[in-house]
Amino acid sequence: MDDVSGNISKQWNKHHAIYMSNANLPREMLEKEFCIHFVTSSPHAAPMEMMSAMQDSIGKAAESGIFAWDCKDNEEVMLDPYGLFLGGDNPMHAEECSHAGLHCNYFCRTCEVGGTKEYKESDEGYNSIFVPGQLRTPAGTAAEIRAQFVTALDSGASEKIKKSVSSTGIKDTTTGYILEAVVEMGKKLCKRVAGVQPKQERSTLNDTINPLLGVEGFNVHQDTPMEILHTVLLGVVKYFLGQTDGLDSPCLNADYICHYKGSLIGKHFKSLAQVMPFLIQDLLPRTVLASSLCIFGTPR
């Protein structure tokens, strides 16, 4: 699942779309257009609303099975579908994991690495970033979402929930609008009867919380593989270019790259990743150059 431009008459008309592929296919067949099945798309429905319907469809198909004809063995077969992993970019993966993304203290959707800004700037905290933290689990994420609802009617609920998101990295977009409504309702009730806290009602959230957290045999925190474009090419390579910005290679169309450095695409970053170590010898302090060679490899 990812966001796409819905047409060509406008520069950006945002839609969300879901596609499906059969992971049993040989690798050379997986990316062929006729092996990619379009499922649904909408400019209005929220991504996780679409994913909830998608999960219901897979669940119903798994319960009854799908009967098909095996053309190789000439016999009827029954298929039992299940989700193997979810493809997409990192921001979409974070939403699928009920994670707040890179801007919170605990910025990883897979594990609990991180900490406060002060901690991460300390020697101990900085070193801890390069060591995997405790793995997140769907059950733990769902429990934290429920805990946010428990505090929704408390005094100062907005600030408490904000701190919870910052300290855990967990933010569920599926129930987000419900949580906001409950918080506002709690504020109004507290104003009506000063000093009296409203009675908290425990309701079942299982049908509302992110459906991917309850899929049997599927761990959304680990089954959302990292994608290279945003992590490397639009991450390390892009920001490294911004720090150097001194290319002069006619084969790479240097004038275009330097002028439109904020709008480059994958092929530009792939080229830059290969030639940068050879071109920045006199552009940067040795300390910065040494760190870059650890990323891109020592030139020979």
**Distance of alpha carbon 268 from the chain centroid:** 24
Q: What is the pLDDT at residue 247?
A: 47
- 128 is written with which tokens? 């801890």
- Inter-residue contact 261 to 241 (CB < 8 Å): yes
Q: What is the pLDDT at residue 299?
A: 42
Place of tokens 């819905």: 6
Q: What is the pLDDT at residue 275?
A: 77
Q: What is the pLDDT at residue 264?
A: 83
Q: What is the pLDDT at residue 137?
A: 95
Q: What is the pLDDT along the chain (300 residues), one digit of tens a residue?
A: 988 876 666 666 788 999 999 988 888 888 889 999 999 999 889 899 999 999 899 989 999 999 999 988 999 999 999 889 998 888 899 999 999 988 889 999 999 999 998 999 899 999 999 888 999 999 999 999 999 988 887 788 888 898 888 889 999 988 888 888 888 887 777 665 555 444 444 456 777 889 899 888 899 999 998 887 777 777 777 777 666 664 444 567 778 888 888 888 877 887 777 777 777 777 777 777 676 555 544 443
Tell if the pTM clears 0.75, that is, is over it: no
What does the mean pLDDT of the chain come to? 82
The SS3 of residue 2 is strand
Pairing outcome for strands 66-70 and 75-79:
antiparallel
User: Tens digit of pLDDT for each residue in 45-86?
Assistant: 989 999 999 989 998 999 999 999 998 899 999 999 988 999
Q: What is the pLDDT at residue 204?
A: 63
Give every CB contact of residue 263 below 8 A, 6+ residues apart in sequence: none
Q: What is the pLDDT at residue 268?
A: 81
